[in-house]
Structure 1
């Protein structure tokens, strides 16, 4: 009881310190640094959503980019002003029932999560009967199907041209507010009976079934929750960037989130949070590796994509020498 009270006090102090820090940052930092802080909050939500599926439940899913795309396009279509939709859909008019819709940000964000969750349920019901590599291939294929469909539905998503002029509703309060709510949800879920069932399935499916746990029900539930959170994260990202297109949601986006999960530790809430912040900041800090570097006596030519090579090497080192990630399972 004493340890629980201490944990609650520490958590409260961290939350208060985070809010104070965000308030100061929002007042003092420039737009570029605020964007990085926003991305940190968004990737906390995305990292935890994938950790719920891959880390806590033990499923090997690679379809996160597809659910993010669903959330991003849902928010974009629902929040864009009608005149802006007319400007975007100049090649082919938008379907009438979407052309005149204009929602506020919160309902659109919730709808983004619901739409991604529905697709997660519909995809998860048949696909989650597969295991390991077969599940990974199936979910990866789903993500690519979504991207191709969005590329070819000109009257709904504007096809390969993408959507521009999306209202920039995401700020530090939205991104980090959703991030903190996601952390709270994950802690609550993992401390409950469903969380224990997820972990039991991860450790040994046969033992979990013998204990009376419905494997299919809990796998679909985990996949649906993770998809819902991925849709929320995609919606926040769209409202931060102000422009999206199908090429944003390639497999590399899923691997970026998987990098956060693996570095932070599979099944670790604290690890995913810390890793999301570190990876997001380092992605920007190491951007100089992609550009030419002048050392005074010699000039080194930049190699596009070099920072991703550095992250790949870091990931290999972590997998080889510290399989549990930065922090052990919570």
Structure 2
């Protein structure tokens, strides 16, 4: 069996295992943690999109929350029924063209992805002529501009009041089903010639340009794809929460996603998936620290914000001991697992073999002439 065939079988087995987990997650986790499981799938999509831009291409974008807002509002406007639109837009009537729009959820997700990608393309044309910190500041500014515009377009987004009664169509099959599709898409993209061009730009732009890679066009394509994935994740988030407002999509949301990809490893698909799940569940699991609790017979009053302090300390420890994140630039493949966990076994076997070889080495015998010479000296 070739390595390609083995990898294909393992990929099919992993997808089948994921489908089984999705089918039995609700009775096993319970209602609350099942919701966190759905939310973690959305964060996987968002993290993969930002990792494509920051991790694989080497850009520094901080405008992810703005593209999430575009996707979320697109899905909300397209799926809201007419009576819900009337209830939302009580201060100022909704735009008649938007009021007449009502599409199925899957059509709204496609429109959300396309709208976020188009806006990213318009922003990328001027912004990607910048580099490093200047690019980060520019994308952060564009993200805030999107949020402010949504806060003041009363007849389109209902302004600062936000939108409620959005149909909650995002199920575990939508969340993790789309996440699995995005994982497969990212694996194929990174393994293609385009993915190798992205890595070449990340490592050395001068050398990549000397090899004939069009830096500007490749960067724009990467930025558009990653931002379109952010719009897709934002649309799923709107369908999960059922209500949105512009304050949700401030720059702190982008930093949460940056935290995921840094913890998982810049340039690692597996790292983004693992970190998205760990952070989503970990943030909620540590929530008990904010409330009062009893330990060793003593009741300790809750300290608001203690959860974030402990979580930040844990993340700091991870960053100190794993400077490139949990996975670095590696992927969770059989080769990586055997290299990672089989190293100690190989070292132990090698040490034992060396010890046996030394023990079995015969001691050289001395000749009769050498013995007679030692006797004469004595």
Q: Above 0.5 in TM-score?
A: yes
- Quote the residue 1:279 is aligned against: 279
- 8 Å contact from structure 2 (residues 55, 266) kept in 1: yes
Structure 2 residue 97 is the aligned partner of structure 1 residue 97: yes
CA RMSD, 1 decimal: 1.4
Q: Residue in 1 aligned with 2:243? A: 243
Q: CA deviation at 1:28?
A: 5.4
User: Does the 8 Å contact 2:286/2:311 carry over to 1?
Assistant: no
Map of 1:190-269 to 2, 5 A cutoff? 190-269=190-269
Matched, 1:50 2:50: yes
Q: CA deviation at 1:294?
A: 3.0
Task: Quote how far apart the aligned CAs of 1:78 are.
Answer: 0.4
Instruction: Return the offset for 1:29.
Output: 4.7
Q: Residue 294 of structure 1: SS of its match in structure 2? A: strand
TM-score by structure 2 length? 0.84
Q: What is the rounded CA distance, in whole Å, between the counterparts of 2:316 and 2:65 in structure 1?
A: 22
Larger Rg: 2
Confirm or deny: 8 A CA contact 1:289 1:306 kept in the other structure. yes
- Runs of 4 or more off by more than 6 Å in structure 1? none
**Contact (CA 8 Å) 1:147, 1:246: kept in 2 or not?**
yes
Looking at structure 2, the residues matched to 310 and 133 of structure 1 have their Cα atoms a distance apart, in angstroms, of: 29
Structure 2 counterpart of 1:317 = 317
Using the TM superposition, give the Cα deviation of residue 292 of structure 1 relative to its aligned residue in structure 2, in angstroms.
2.4
Any idea what SS the aligned residue of 1:299 has?
strand
Distance 1:306 1:147 in 2: 29
Q: Provide the rounded CA distance (Å) in 2 between the counterparts of 1:205 and 1:45.
A: 27
The CA distance in 1 between the partners of 2:83 and 2:28, in whole Å, is: 34
C-alpha separation between the residues in 2 aligned to 1:148 and 1:219? 27
Contact 1:26/1:172 (8 A) holds in 2: no
The question of 1:5 aligning with 2:5 is answered yes
CA distance in structure 2 between the partners assigned to 1:157 and 1:303 by the alignment: 37
Verify the 8 A CA contact 2:157 2:163 in the aligned structure 1: yes
Partner of 2:109: 109
TM-score of the superposed pair, with normalisation by structure 1: 0.96
Q: Is the 8 A contact 1:72 1:235 kept in 2?
A: yes
| Distance in 1 between residues matched to 2:255 and 2:232, nearest whole Å | 18
Q: In structure 2, what is the Cα distance between the partners aligned to 1:299 and 1:204?
A: 57
Kindly indicate whether structure 1 or structure 2 has the higher relative contact order, using CA contacts under 8 Å at least 6 residues apart. Answer: 1
Distance in 2 of aligned mates of 1:305 and 1:133: 30
8 Å CA contact retained: 1:259, 1:315: no
